[in-house]
Structure 1
Amino acid sequence: MPVAADHESLLRLLHGGAPASALRRLLDTHGGAAAAVAAGPRDWASHGLGAGACNAIRHPDAATLGRSLHWLEDDGHHLLGWGDDGYPPLLRRIASPPAILFVAGDPGLLWRPAVAVVGSRAATAGGRANGAQFATALARAGLCVASGLAAGIDAAAHAATLEAGGATVAVLGTGPDVAYPVRNRPLMARIEAEGALVSEHPPGTGPLRAHFPSRNRILAGLALGTLVIEAALQSGALITARLAAEAGREVFVLPGSIHNPMARGCHRLLRDGAALVETPDEVVEALAPVALELARALRGVLETSAAVPSPIGTPPLVEDSDTHRLWQALGHDPTTMDELVERSGLTAAAVSSMLLALELEGRIAAEHGRYSRIGG
């Protein structure tokens, strides 16, 4: 795709190495990256950028900038700046949102109601099975499953979601083109093709230790709630859970055996007030009101944009479209996702995305994982 004019300016700001907070202030002040870059060093310094960052913006490294620009030439690669309409709304609400995001795949998934499924890299076989079971059920309930593409629970959750035909988002601690661990490269490629990869780091960035705790704040911030499957007392999953709680999001935990060291972190979270869950339905039921609130908020955003949804009751798209097939499968009695997939003959991923669109348009109601028509 042709690289947007503002993208080079965004990349210059990012590669300058200034803190995200300073870049957000700069973008807020000037309304866009091109204007921010044009403002000059004195203005940058007044927004908290140091001399090194100012110099790097004025004289960007040609190879580094060129690598990022080349990555953006792919149709499936996207750059979201703090001031962009497509920046995910839930992520704006955390304490330290990134100023710029690289997205490989479908950036629209970052607006979907999501659950972060996290846990130990050294998960037990039972833990991986639980991660897959919960991810499958959550995906079939219409929720996006987000995780960090690490070994163990993360990989199990991503893979199970894809197998269920659901939507999954992987938040990376590397650049959007770097697989870590390397053995997850095939899974990463499949997520890019069928879901979305997200990173605040430019292409070519390797797996630096300091990047992974900060990655977890993005994962927690994109999700309505975080589900911890297995976690030791010192683990990234506990960091994600803490950041989710600090952002006002739900934290769910599966209990484990007192003899399993991978359950001790889970039990600490439970003592600290996290919600104990034993079935995926408990997660879905707890998040249903929050997901509905998000849908209403997103509908408000869409109604104020140039693309205003059709009025309630008008025919959904054209007669022979997939959306019409789904509309015919829907009734006034609440219907589960699985029933709609069976009736329509569509994939679970297609049904999930269309249900969200119909809900945002005010055509359907969603309660406890069941969907019904509103009006005609």
Structure 2
Amino acid sequence: MLSDINRLLIALSLQHGVGRQRIKAIFSNDELSASPDFNVLQTHLNSICFASIQQFLGGAGDVYSRVLLIEEQCNNFGITMLNYEDANYPFLLKQVPDYPLYLFVKGDVGVLHKDQIAIVGSRNASSAGLRHAYDFARGLSQNELVVTSGMALGVDSAAHAGAIDAGFSSIAVMGTGLDTVYPKRNHRLAHRLLDKGCWVSEYLPGSAPVAANFPRRNRIISGLALGVLVVEARMRSGTLITAKAAIEQNREVFALPGPIEYQGSAGCHDLISQGAKLVQHVDDILIEIKPQVQPLSLLQDIIPVTLEPALAALLDNIQFQPMQFSEIAKLTSIGQADLISMLVELELHGCIENNVLGINRIK
């Protein structure tokens, strides 16, 4: 159930042309209040918005109905709303200049208060890039760092999977409302993450995956973390938006180098030339952001990965020669959406390869 203050914050956010700065101005230096000064409201809202908020406060009008619907969605999907004065609002995130006025969280809210490392990179990463993201996530998780990323395809998914498979928490910062998973093929991975971690979004339940949302949410990924590791990024990649946000937020930025002729690493090389720390091992990161932790080598004491039965059964049906998706679907009788999601997981585990020739087993 939403508090009166949170209902009012949502109502203000639903007003046309009323953004973060204006809402902050309404409350100024005062504490958030469910009964704001009407003179202040009139000063900062046009006549249409002011009338709408008056109706809302009186328990009537379209905005009031929409807020009730959002509250119902939060209840139905197990979503918690945290405003910036809430004790559970992440401390580090509140230190950045443009912190969100509120967050929606699904899962374990307590994970937000643990030390975090963000791992980001290309959606179209190479097999090596996926493997590096996965392995670094496992190693960093073993050293008491929660892996935070954006649940996108590619590096993000590999990072989440690495942390989850090692038995640790992960945080997914979404660019949509938390009533949906985007992209859909990450449905299984996202729900596995909820066992010990959480999803986070500044977008209202029901918010669709609009392209403009994703660059904006990147400041939350970096803002939650002590540092950001970039694994594969082309020049002008959206990943570099996260790195730029991290620099502006005074966070540590780490970059994984790659072959000089590989354009997928050009963004990482550019970051290194600008002062990002070149990373080759987990210890390179721990020395900078968590020196009190005794590092565990990336290649030492790694918890072995055991595929769950459904994934193991699927892998048994995939040959070492390229196969087509339709062929695998016919052999397994698995629904299209579930099959796509399961193939993504097998690729992240390094069990299969998906390229222009088809899908083939590699181990």
Note if 1:43 corresponds to 2:40: yes
1:57 maps to 53
Q: Residue 259 of structure 1 aligns to which amino acid in structure 2?
A: E
Q: Which has the larger radius of gyration?
A: 2
TM-fit CA distance, 1:60: 4.3
Contact preservation (8 Å) 2:90, 2:113: yes
1:1-376 pair list within 5 angstroms: 2-16=1-15, 18-36=18-36, 39-40=37-38, 42-46=39-43, 48-51=44-47, 53-58=49-54, 59-62=61-64, 64-74=66-76, 76-288=78-290
Following the alignment from structure 1 to structure 2, what is the Cα–Cα distance between the partners of residues 204 and 140?
35
Instruction: Output the TM-score relative to the length of structure 1.
Output: 0.72
The size of the alignment, in residue pairs, is 291
Counting aligned pairs with the same residue, the percent is 36
Following the alignment from structure 2 to structure 1, what is the Cα–Cα distance between the partners of residues 282 and 81?
33
Secondary structure of residue in 1 paired with 2:88: coil
Following the alignment from structure 1 to structure 2, what is the Cα–Cα distance between the partners of residues 52 and 224?
43
Q: Residue 125 of structure 1 aligns to which amino acid in structure 2?
A: S
TM-fit CA distance, 1:337: 7.8
Q: Which deviates the most, 112-121 or 174-183? A: 174-183
Secondary structure of residue in 1 paired with 2:112: helix
- Give a deviation string over 1:302-349, Cα, whole Å, max 9, x none: xxxxxxxxxxxxxxxxxxxxxxxxxxxxxxxx97789xxx9xxxxxxx
Following the alignment from structure 1 to structure 2, what is the Cα–Cα distance between the partners of residues 241 and 206?
25
1:347 maps to none
Q: Residue 261 of structure 1 aligns to which amino acid in structure 2?
A: Q
Q: Which deviates the most, 5-14 or 101-110? A: 5-14
- Give a deviation string over 1:192-244, Cα, whole Å, max 9, x none: 34211111110110111111111001111111100000101121210000100
Q: Residue 22 of structure 1 aligns to which amino acid in structure 2?
A: R
Q: Which deviates the most, 170-179 or 64-73? A: 64-73
- Give a deviation string over 1:142-161, Cα, whole Å, max 9, x none: 00110001000001111111
Following the alignment from structure 1 to structure 2, what is the Cα–Cα distance between the partners of residues 212 and 229?
18
Q: Which deviates the most, 135-144 or 180-189? A: 180-189
2:360 maps to none
Instruction: Output the TM-score relative to the length of structure 2.
Output: 0.74
TM-fit CA distance, 1:287: 0.4
Contact preservation (8 Å) 2:123, 2:153: yes
Secondary structure of residue in 1 paired with 2:35: helix
Unaligned runs of 5+ in 1: 293-333, 343-376
Unaligned runs of 5+ in 2: 55-60, 302-363
Following the alignment from structure 1 to structure 2, what is the Cα–Cα distance between the partners of residues 101 and 243?
18
- Give a deviation string over 1:247-303, Cα, whole Å, max 9, x none: 1000000001112111011111111111101011111121015xx7xxxxxxxxxxx
TM-fit CA distance, 1:141: 0.4
Contact preservation (8 Å) 2:11, 2:64: no
TM-fit CA distance, 1:62: 4.8
TM-fit CA distance, 1:105: 0.8
Cα 1:11–1:265 shift into 2, 3 Å: same
TM-fit CA distance, 1:71: 2.4
Contact preservation (8 Å) 1:24, 1:82: no
TM-fit CA distance, 1:74: 4.8
Following the alignment from structure 2 to structure 1, what is the Cα–Cα distance between the partners of residues 274 and 9?
40
Cα 1:33–1:235 shift into 2, 3 Å: farther
Contact preservation (8 Å) 2:80, 2:106: yes
Following the alignment from structure 2 to structure 1, what is the Cα–Cα distance between the partners of residues 26 and 52?
16
Cα 1:53–1:337 shift into 2, 3 Å: farther
